[in-house]
Structure 1
Amino acid sequence: MMSFDDLKALANQICPLHVIINAEGKIVSFGPTLQKLSSGASWADQPFFDIFELQRPRWVKSIADLLETTGSKLHFQLRSEPHTRMKGVLVPLPEGRGAFINLSFGISVLDAVRDFNLTSQDFSPTDLTIEMLYLVEAKSAAMEASRQLNLRLQGAKIAAEEQAFTDTLTGLKNRRAMDHVLNRLITSGRDFALMHVDLDFFKQVNDTFGHAAGDAVLQRVAAIMVECTRKSDTVARVGGDEFVLIFEGLMDRDRLNELANRLISRLEEPIMYGAETCKISASVGTSLSSSMLAPDAAQLLHQADVALYAAKRAGRAQHMFYAPQQEAQMMEQDSKTA
């Protein structure tokens, strides 16, 4: 006849989630997986019903009743937190020595694995739980891979959008970004000022020192414009040596005139390219969204452009606000040069 120690060793191998009780209902032995659930407490010699609450079948009220449930499905719950639910089947031991109860977590397996840090080593090699654990691990790995892929795709999308709205030479916004900002401001009904800046004498820099020098000058111009504006303002390069600055909520003419003149003064400072000294200036024209009952982006850009060329006709390195009479003056000048 198999000794109790042999039975225990065999049970630990093939049913690591088991309890052996004696005829009085006290725990004689329990499997290694339940050792983890006991959190180091000694269940040996403890009454079975002090550790496990039998929930079904409800007619079982005593150990004698429990021993009558041979082959029936039993539903248990640990009395201690986290009150893990289990299912079991009881098999009586020979000669009325008690019973062997084989347990499983059933649908509570994922909670048990999480709560007690269980691994595949805590289950019988033939237990379907192992297959479930493999599936959970595979799902977790797949979800993590999917999360990482989504992060990379999101980063790539943000980078692509940023690149689509950025001038590659200067790092400023480009015309597409300017159009986006103008449409947003007009749609929201926010007042804003639009400043068109055109560099004076930039062609001479390119012709005299080459396009590399011209690129260096444009990069320095971009840095100066960023220094002279607020973080909330938009600075865009919209052409070779043309820039548009958008000032949301800034409509004070004195402040705008002061800003434009400070910008012109800064741009007149010599820019060094190697041993060469590059000298430029800028002409500036400004239009205000409040000057129109229904602001239109194209019309505001046209008005700033008209004011800009009025500044150039007045001798360059100047700032002018749009005025309707400038339109007639520009047409008259164009007809003379035609």
Structure 2
Amino acid sequence: MDGPPRPAPAAIPLDGLARLLPMHAVLSESGHVRAAGPTLRRICGDIDLVGRRFLDLFEVTRPRPAQSLSDLFAISDRKIMVRFRADPARQLRGHLVCLGPGEGAIVNLSFGISAAEAVRDHGLSHADFAPTDLTVELLYLTEVKAAVMGELKSLNQRLQSARRTAEAQALTDPLTGLSNRRAFDLALDRAVAGVARGATFSVLHLDLDRFKQVNDALGHGAGDVVLTEVARILRAQLRQNDVVARVGGDEFMAILTGATEIDTLAGISGRIIAALEQPIDYDGATCRISGSIGIARSVSYDRPDPRRLIEDADAALYHSKHMGRGRTTIDRPDRDAAA
């Protein structure tokens, strides 16, 4: 027995086919488009597909070029790549199935990896894809990933900015905005390391004269104004590549890059002291201070050491104070290099 007869294949209405395969084209046996899905019609713009020869609308590039109807039908049941001949010349992936002798064929197309571009260019939505097509879900995941990556990048930038801000604050004197002692020590280590490459520098140590009298007479508010003005003076008198730091209550230190000539250092320190001795106004009262300076030069040592430089600048500073304040001593007093 041959068994029960096979049922005839069910005919699918074109509107149902359009819902299932919105990127399909039904071809006649002559290779002309009999019907096309709504999404395929949409991306083809003003071109009316129905009645047009498929190969006049699309160039078949894979698995091999198709120049004739027989070439086209010969690649039935295989994945194909086609390119829309009109602008935009978008490349599509597809599958062609012959329906039988004299019945033509169905071509179902998709965007492949260019789906995101197609959605953007044609304003497509989930309704433009087959219900079982994962493209919408993939695009959603792509958008979510892009959003998450964008937020992570923004968060990372904010964290980096916060880290830089925290590092800067950790190395900055909050009252004057100058470097603090930790930042100065780090900069001095770098300067000493640079001596091996031929760099030279000097360490300047400044202690304010008569600052205690200002605090005692006018209060700490006046002292803060004076310290802020001292910071301004030091910035004005020194160069941008010099490191200027507040290292104590009324003590300041600086690394003067490349400045080691005694005449040059005497001129710099003289201008600083002269500026410090100008009256400073505080709430109608006049604050008067001066400054004593000690300087140690990297060229005074065979192998400069950060601690030794600081100690010698400190010794030179106190020699200036002992000699009457408002003056500068360059190198240790026993070097007889006072200015």
With the shorter chain as reference, the TM-score category is 0.7 to 0.9
Contact 1:310–1:326 under 8 Å retained in 2: no
C-alpha distance 59-203 of structure 1, shift in aligned 2 (>3 A) = closer
Q: How many residues align?
A: 323
Counterpart code for 1:174: N
Q: Which moved more, 1:159-168 or 1:252-261?
A: 252-261
Q: Which moved more, 1:97-106 or 1:176-185?
A: 97-106
Contact 1:24–1:98 under 8 Å retained in 2: yes
Measured in 2, the distance between the counterparts of 1:59 and 1:210 equals 92
User: 3-state DSSP class of the match of 1:96?
Assistant: coil
Partner of 1:122: 128
Cα deviation, 1:186-211, whole Å, max 9, x if unaligned, reads: 22222111110000011111111111
C-alpha distance 321-117 of structure 1, shift in aligned 2 (>3 A) = farther
Counterpart code for 1:87: G
Contact 2:61–2:83 under 8 Å retained in 1: no
Partner of 2:79: 74
Partner of 1:90: 97
Cα deviation, 1:236-294, whole Å, max 9, x if unaligned, reads: 00000000011112223222211111110111111111122111100011111111121
Task: Please state how far the C-alpha of 1:13 moved relative to its aligned partner.
Answer: 3.0
Task: Please state how far the C-alpha of 1:82 moved relative to its aligned partner.
Answer: 5.5
Correspondence for 1:137 among 143, 147, 169: 143
Correspondence for 1:278 among 274, 287, 291: 287
Task: Please state how far the C-alpha of 1:312 moved relative to its aligned partner.
Answer: 0.7
C-alpha distance 112-223 of structure 1, shift in aligned 2 (>3 A) = same
1:215 and 2:220 correspond: no
Instruction: Please give the TM-score of this superposition, normalised by the length of structure 1.
Output: 0.85
Percent identity of equivalent pairs: 42
User: 3-state DSSP class of the match of 1:171?
Assistant: coil
Matches within 5 A, 1:49-60: 49-58=55-64
Measured in 2, the distance between the counterparts of 1:211 and 1:223 equals 18
Q: Which moved more, 1:137-146 or 1:250-259?
A: 250-259
Counterpart code for 2:173: D
Partner of 2:168: 162
Contact 2:316–2:333 under 8 Å retained in 1: no
1:25 and 2:31 correspond: yes
Measured in 1, the distance between the counterparts of 2:118 and 2:65 equals 27
Partner of 2:70: 64
Partner of 1:299: 308
C-alpha distance 186-112 of structure 1, shift in aligned 2 (>3 A) = farther
Measured in 2, the distance between the counterparts of 1:152 and 1:229 equals 33
Task: Please state how far the C-alpha of 1:313 moved relative to its aligned partner.
Answer: 1.0
C-alpha distance 73-155 of structure 1, shift in aligned 2 (>3 A) = same
RMSD, aligned CA: 2.9
Q: Which moved more, 1:11-20 or 1:60-69?
A: 60-69
Q: Which moved more, 1:117-126 or 1:226-235?
A: 117-126
Contact 1:306–1:326 under 8 Å retained in 2: no
Measured in 2, the distance between the counterparts of 1:178 and 1:59 equals 73
Unmatched runs of 5 consecutive residues or more in structure 1: 328-338
Measured in 2, the distance between the counterparts of 1:286 and 1:279 equals 24
Task: Please state how far the C-alpha of 1:183 moved relative to its aligned partner.
Answer: 1.3
Unmatched runs of 5 consecutive residues or more in structure 2: 1-9
C-alpha distance 324-265 of structure 1, shift in aligned 2 (>3 A) = closer
Contact 2:96–2:105 under 8 Å retained in 1: no
Instruction: Please give the TM-score of this superposition, normalised by the length of structure 2.
Output: 0.85
